[in-house]
Amino acid sequence: MTQVSENKVFGGRHVQYRHQANSLACDMRFAIFLPPQASENHKVPVLYWLSGLTCTDENFMQKAGALRIAAELGMAIVAPDTSPRGEAVPDDADNSYDFGHGAGFYVDATEEPWSAHYQMYTYIRDELPTLIEQHFPVTGEKVISGHSMGGHGALVLALRNPGLYRSVTAFSPICNPSTCPWGEKALSNYLGEDKTAWQQYDASILMVKLEQDQHIPALVTQGGDDEFLEQQLKPDTLVAAAKGNDYPLSYELQPGYDHSYYFISSFIEQHLRFHARHLGLA
């Protein structure tokens, strides 16, 4: 790993690193916040945060207002980039914001030319946590959260890997990507036209299939004035799936809030404290 930057904040450390990601076959950057409690003699649990379309590791760390609460709770936060990047990594020919660079959708691509680099599911589930646990004073206890495309990724990773995370939360997640324009574009390109292959990355479908002993606590917060609510996000499908399977999902629709980081910063403390309870920190 190569350190890119470091800042002291709320008694802890926010550090950016660059490293060679084997699963993505390119250099990747991530940011980690280590709270003041973290030391060689005291390891802390980790929240993995997955950001949305066009974002990098910087958006959440700089805009969400999460670090003060994480410092209080004794929780590390890891924020990866949203896709592989670099001159050798293929990008959308039209340079659109919702596919290619900045839009990895947290899937393992099977279609060329994407499959050589766009293995974000494996990177987030396996490679990055292994790296974090080898080099930083953290435990193996993990929770996961995200926003929009990242909310989709957080839900999918949690639902597909029972027992890997203690809890999952999401802000404005893409709940049913198999049936929305963002998801249809990304999944058809990364995975091909066979829609049965898409189901493994659709939280509303995955939630219906889980056995009762595979359920973990989940919280989803959605802005009522989100411009993408009806066409792209479709939270009603996730709520219906949870009800149909008695899944412990808490869903909150917050009137007047949009899709921005103003919305995330308004409710991030609630999400961090939700995770802290399930990590035994509060």
Alpha-carbon distance of 220 to 43, in angstroms, equals 28
**What strand order describes the sheet that includes 76-80?**
2-9, 12-21, 26-34, 76-80, 44-50, 138-147, 168-171, 218-223, 249-254
CA distance 153 to 144: 9
Give catalytic residue positions: 148, 226, 259
Q: Which residue spans within the chain are E strands per DSSP?
A: 2-9, 12-21, 26-34, 44-50, 76-80, 138-147, 168-171, 218-223, 249-254
